[in-house]
Amino acid sequence: MSVQRKRGQKARVWRTKEVVDGRGNKVVVADDEDPITVRAAFIPQRSARAEVPGQQMINVTRMIVNSHLDGVSLWSRVEYNGSLWDVVAPPAYHHGDRRTRHWSVDIRERP
């Protein structure tokens, strides 16, 4: 495990679960009852500042976590640095030896 992931910053991750909505459809939602705490490295990817009223600030960061993270998908949520973040791309698994395998998750800060 890299030093950044071992001693990295703490984040809470809400995995996803499948529930039935009021119409009887199966939908995937973030599991509010069981967040997990992980240590991760965070790498800024892109950002845009809102300069005119009506525009939205965009802040996208890549979160690199241990390979034991499962149940995370596009409908998951992350709490990091005092803000809530949405997963914006499917998590990518990078296989390697025991020390280097990890998940990369792109997250976007909620406005």
What pLDDT is stored for residue 84 in this prediction? 93
What is the model's pLDDT at position 51? 65
* Pair of tokens at residue 61: 């960061």
Counts for the chain of helices (H) and strands (E), in that order = 1, 9
From first to last of its 111 residues, the chain has per-residue pLDDT tens of: 555 556 789 999 999 999 999 999 999 988 888 899 999 999 888 777 766 666 667 788 999 998 888 888 889 999 998 999 999 988 888 888 888 888 899 999 887
Residue range 3-109, CATH number: 2.40.10
Rg (CA), the chain: 15
Domain layout of the chain by residue ranges: 3-109
Q: What pLDDT score does 99 carry? A: 80
- Enter the pTM of the model: 0.78
The pLDDT score that the predictor gives to residue 27 is: 92
How many angstroms separate the CA atoms of 106 and 111, rounded? 16
* Residue 58, pLDDT score: 77
pLDDT of 4 reads 57
